[in-house]
Amino acid sequence: MMISKVKNAMSTLVGGMMPHGHHHHHNHHSGGGQTCGPDSLPPRFPYGRPDFLDLTPELLQYSTEHASRPVLTLKRDSRLPWRTGYAEVINAGKSMLNEDQASCEKLFVKKPSGKHRNSTLQEDNGDGTGIPLHFWGVFDGHAGSGAAIMASKLLHRLIRDRLGEICHLLENPTSVPPICLAKNGSPYQAETKKGAAQEPEDPDAISDSTVRFHMEKVVSLESLVMGVIETAFSQMDDLIEKEKTSYAISGGCCALAAIHLMGKLYVANAGDSRAIIIRNNEVIPMTNEFTPESERQRLQYLGFLRPELLGNEFTHIEFPRRIQHSELGKKMLYRDHSMTGWAYKTIVEDDLKFPLIYGEGKKARVMATIGVTRGLGDHDLKVYNSNIYIKPFLSCVPEVMVYNLDENKHGPDDVLVMGTDGLWDVTTDREVADAVSAYLSCCDPSDPMRYTLAAQDLLMRSRGVLKERGWRLPNEKLGSGDDITVFVIPLAGHESET
């Protein structure tokens, strides 16, 4: 039987590969061209599933079971902060291992102490002092799981450390963050008298510095936290690049993170994962997806301004299909970086190059290679059989949306759902909301497992059931063939936290 053949092959492969966890394989996001560095380098972190699943080696192996695609959830005696629910399932064979990763952490934001000043990324010390910070992350890897694993281990620490640097501002949330800081971190007020050596003094000048500077934007603490998160994503990306010289860190990953800090939920998304809030069975989208289609104009603009990045093989102009040589001189529909609509242009030699953005929907690709346009890693991803790097077209900066938890009332069935694209490809926002709401309404509000059971239910629906013609949903449509990872996070969770 086909199924058992796959199964046996898998066990062998997985068994043999586990310790090193880097190898060449491609998924639907990558047309290939991924080089994973010299095989002699050790992995930065070994392959595994999230620590909070607490898998035995046997269960870890079972988790890569493509034939039965077990839905893994938290154990009954495990507890994540806020009673967070979690479930995951591996793909239907498109990659050897589950390239999704996840993390869920409670951390504490502290001023960098003398002792730790130079050791960022330290393990969280558990003395419970500092400003509490909750973190949830889902990382959808492609072309290897190295970047996703590393991000799941370190991104939250980077965010915590960056927040530590503005800890003194967080401790005074009602005061406006100073625009300028002295080296010791205290607010620096440019003085009118003493500082005047550089500029001739105007005898009529008003000494009030806000008037003197003509304009001073007021920056909120909230936008400082957004800046911290954006900066931490960039640093995570830089760290992957840097450590690639010493370790094998394969592939890249989409990164979706939710951060709870001082009553606000910050949802940061770089890629095609998605998060929604379900409140009173209403859907509030908390992310936009970043794909070749949604970021077409940004990418075309870069290709237009920096044509050397296209390596003489691609054109920044989009066409609705490939052009044949025989069509030179004819007119064809096109759009460039500035257009939303389409117009006809006369085809010239240069238009015969492959379009930078090509394909529709889930099949849209940047330079025929990758189907997402934001994320971490991918530093040495190249167009197949060429020396053209994809990375300049990818952004590691997330879009951050803020939801004010404290300003809204939440019942036990109001949740944030975070999931990788495997979930959303087959289940719409509305269907997810209906399924979760229906499940939770039938479930004892005091059951510590209720959010994990809701997550599991979601995954069963989206994965489908294996029939002769593949994994099928109840409506006979094809289920998700992708890895799926989902968090179901109760919004009233921080109130119940002890």
Q: From residue 371 to residue 390, what is the string marking binding to a second copy with x (rule CB under 8 A)?
A: --------------------
Task: Figure out which of the listed residues 76, 115, 193, 217 binds a second copy, where binding follows CB under 8 A.
Answer: 217
Provide the minimum distance between the beta carbon of 354 and a second copy in the complex, in angstroms, as a whole number. Answer: 12
One of 10, 72, 87, 226 touching a second copy (CB under 8 A): 226
- 131-159 b/e (C-beta count within 10 Å ≥ 16 → b): bbbbbbbbbbbbbbbbbbbbbbbbbbbbb
User: Considering beta carbons, is residue 95 or 369 the nearer one to a second copy?
Assistant: 369
Separation CA 24–CA 141 (nearest Å): 13
Residue among 183, 193, 469, 477 that touches a second copy (CB under 8 A): 183
Nearer of residues 64 and 369 to a second copy, judged by Cβ: 369
How far is CA 198 from each of CA 190, 202, 215, 364, rounded to the nearest angstrom? 12, 12, 19, 55
- In angstroms, give the least distance from the CB of 293 to a second copy: 11
Could you give the count of Cα atoms lying within 13 Å of 74 in the half-sphere of its Cβ?
A: 25
In sequence order, what are the residues at sequence separation of 6 or more whose Cβ sits closer than 8 angstroms to the Cβ of residue 371? 28, 29, 272, 291, 292, 362, 363, 364, 365
In the complex, the smallest distance separating the C-beta of residue 153 from a second copy, rounded to whole angstroms, is 23
Q: Residue 111 CB, nearest distance to a second copy (Å)?
A: 15
Minimum distance from CB of 12 to a second copy (Å)? 34
Contacting residues for 308 by C-beta, under 8 A, at least 6 apart: none
**Identified binder of a second copy from the candidate list 39, 54, 199, 495, rule CB under 8 A:** 199
Cα–Cα–Cα angle for 216, 220, 224, rounded to 5 degrees: 105
Q: What angle, rounded to 10 degrees, do the helices at 429-441 and 450-463 form? A: 140
Q: Which of 333, 409, 444, 497 binds a second copy (CB under 8 A)?
A: 333
Q: Within 13 Å and on the Cβ side, how many CA atoms surround 331?
A: 4
Options 16, 24, 280, 344; binder of a second copy; rule CB under 8 A: 344
Nearer of residues 217 and 469 to a second copy, judged by Cβ: 217
By C-beta, is 189 or 441 nearer to a second copy?
A: 189
CA separation for the pair 177, 187 (Å, rounded): 9
Question: Is residue 227 near a second copy by the rule CB under 8 A?
Answer: yes
Rule CB under 8 A: which of 74-113 touch a second copy?
none
Q: Which of 5, 117, 242, 322 binds a second copy (CB under 8 A)?
A: 322
Among 224, 438, 466, 473, binds a second copy (CB under 8 A): 224
A 10 A CB-CB count for 480 gives: 25
Measure the CA–CA gap between 309 and 297, rounded to whole angstroms: 16
Contacts with a second copy by CB under 8 A lie at 165-166, 177, 179-183, 188, 190, 195, 197-199, 213-219, 223-231, 234, 298, 301-302, 305-306, 319-322, 324-327, 329-333, 335, 338-344, 358-360, 363, 395, 397, 399-400
